[in-house]
Chains A and B, each alone.
Chain A
Amino acid sequence: MIFSPLALFAPPEREITMNTKTTVTTTKLTAAAAVGALALTSCGNGDNGGDSDGDFGSVEVPLSWIMTAEFAGMYYGVDEGYYEEEGFEEVELITGGPAATPSVTQIATGTGLAGLSNPIDVGSFYDSEGDDAGVKVIGSVFQRNAFAIFSLGDNPATEPEDLIGMSVGVAPNNEGVYYAFLDVNGIDPDDVEMVSTGGTAEPLSNGEVDAYIGYATNQAIDVELDGHDVEYLYFYEHGLPFAAGSIIATEETIESSREELKALLAGTIRGWHTALEDHDDAAQVTVEDWAADQGLDMEHQLLTAERQAPLISDEWTEENGLLTMSDELVADTLEAIEVVGYDVPDDLFDLTLLEEVYEENPDLIEP
């Protein structure tokens, strides 16, 4: 298990950053407003455990990747004290990454209250552990997944058919979605040359492959910042509109620690509202505090924050709240998992916790 000691020190560092930046003033004001709003709501329902005694103790939340702006909402949940206000002494975010144990395994083996994962990883876990794997998705940060097959402007793949005869760099963890994309778009895998690569789009930048499969909000930005024109084939536009950024927990935890999970969801929702207000600040918090030991690029993380915003917050979430999923999105996601080749139970998604969170705190929909 990889644990970033940085998480412990992040809040004080954040203070320093805030004091030296003028742009943060608005964030602070909003945060204060949000705190005020919460104080009002928690008066309204004293039984949801949302007081500040820290009676939920310290919990761990394993993430699905290294600490990039992809998890900015949770950074604010910690930094702005939202989790604390919801009743946690401390919420410790555990960094993931290409070499880390998948968060779904960590959750299933009892490390962490809830984790950040994605539907495909959860599907593959069910595939190897069977239907009694006992892991549920209780919310989704991303309404649309950021997966894309991207290519360079001078040899672009603008339609899935253009991939025929091309070579595509695929990291081992993306093999499933790669074949699913070809399958959904009626392309014979034998007509496309799959090249096994690592988790960065470097082989595309240096001309070793013609295209690469990855996140439009992550690896593709590296290629753009290398000075290339990038052409995107988004999964959500080509037959695979599944949700991502799944928040997962075991059935056991849902039963035994329902209020903790709801408090975690509430804190995360508030964190994301703050994160989505100021992309500059979200990128800065990521680069300078949370991922300071990763040497991330500010420009890159700013683009990540800007591009992921419409995937996280859209018309649906404006009406129903962040992290929620429409019946259609649930169905699309289940279908995508099936196309990738994994059998999961129909009740993989348990969105009742989020329903209760928004019922008890209607203000969270529109902060």
Chain B
Amino acid sequence: MNPILRAVLIPLVRLAASLAVITAVWVGALWFFDVSPIIGKNPADVYQYLFTHPESAAHREVVFADFWITMLDTLIGFGVGMFVAALTAMAFQISKGFEAAVMPLAMICRSVPLVAMAPIIVLIFGRDWASVAAMGTIVVIFPALVTIVEGLRSASPAMTEVVQVYGGNRATVLQKVGMPASLPSFFTAARVSIPGALTGAMLAEWLATGDGMGYGIIQAVTQTDYDRLWASVLIVTLASLVVYSFIGVAERLVARSTGIGLAA
């Protein structure tokens, strides 16, 4: 089979398998725990809410308006978070002192719940995209940073020495050897960070901006609109699966064209 086609198809097959598992667990859990139909909606209820209900057009409008805001917020948080993580990881390679000074900060991001930091972030950054970016960064940075640093360190000593022999300094080593070597871990970091970035975006929407799915889900709960709640959760789940698979495809294609990380 065409290797590029293969790189695209495999994640798609996996995606279909995940969908089957999710649906089975969903229906099975509702049945097994005998959840009241007022709260526990099944796939057919969600389908009806979004497509066959007389007001389904209005329902789709509500849910998807929230959805695109959340996707944009996720992109902002993910982009800024990955950028900061990559930049910091490279700075770590150049200066060990910087690493010792900054790593505890990254750990604070991980260990203090975002909900507890939210009021301060909102006071500093306001209630718009700056807060979204800040909260996205906080969620993304620790796992991404650790993974990228690991990747940068994985450069082979022999290649590093070649650059040094030709008079290259630390920055040159990083550019010529470290960055290409860390490509696979960069993709791993991206995959690990996407669900986090989505959660971070929804938290930011709930605690700061007051729009998107993060707020919509809270709204649906307080208004006892459980159809909307399940539809929103389902769409967010599907979106994170699709984005995750998409990064998998990108990773395979890049690996194929550069030859880096093929063995992994």
Contacts and interface: CB of A to CB of B under 8 A. Distances in A.
B215 A127 contact: no
A312 B38 CA distance: 32
Interface stretch (A43-51, A76-84, A104-112, A156-164): A104-112
B251 interface: no
B207 A198 contact: yes
B263 interface: no
B224 interface: yes
A303 interface: no
A181 interface: no
Nearest to A206: B123
A356 interface: no
B161 interface: no
Given A109-B36, A196-B210, A128 B226 contact: yes
B219 A172 contact: yes
B36 A196 contact: no
Contacts, number: 50
B222 interface: yes
A102 interface: yes
A109 B224 CA distance: 12
Contacts of B222: 102, 124, 172-173
Contact of A196 (B119, B215, B226): B215
Interface string A91-105: 000000000011011
B123 A108 contact: no
Q: Which of B211, B222, B224, B227 gathers most chain A CB within 10 Å?
A: B224
Contact of B224 (A102, A195, A206, A208): A102
A175 interface: yes
Q: Is the interface of B mostly helix, strand, loop or mixed?
A: helix
A108 B224 CA distance: 11
B60 interface: no
B88 interface: no
A202 B119 contact: yes
Contacts of A196: 127, 209-211, 215
Nearest to A171: B222
B224 to A, nearest CB: 5
B123 A208 contact: yes
Contacts of A172: 215, 218-219, 222
Interface residues of A, number: 24
Given A128-B227, A198-B207, A108 B38 contact: yes
Given A109-B36, A125-B224, A195 B123 contact: no
B61 interface: no
A125 B226 CA distance: 10
Nearest to B37: A109
Given A172-B218, A172-B219, A110 B224 contact: no
B39 interface: yes
A195 B210 contact: yes
B41 to A, nearest CB: 11
A188 interface: no
A311 to B, nearest CB: 23
Contacts of B39: 101, 105, 109
B17 to A, nearest CB: 33
B196 to A, nearest CB: 22
A128 B225 contact: yes
Interface string A108-126: 1110000000000100110
A104 B122 CA distance: 33
A109 B38 contact: yes
30 contacts: A102-B221, A102-B222, A102-B224, A104-B224, A105-B39, A105-B224, A108-B36, A109-B36, A109-B38, A109-B39, A110-B36, A124-B222, A124-B223, A124-B224, A125-B224, A127-B225, A128-B223, A128-B225, A129-B38, A129-B224, A172-B219, A172-B222, A173-B222, A173-B223, A175-B219, A196-B209, A196-B211, A196-B215, A206-B123, A208-B122
Interface of B: 36, 38-39, 119, 122-123, 127, 207, 209-211, 215, 218-219, 221-227
9 closest Cβ pairs, A-B complex: A196-B210, A173-B222, A109-B36, A124-B223, A125-B224, A128-B225, A172-B218, A172-B219, A172-B222
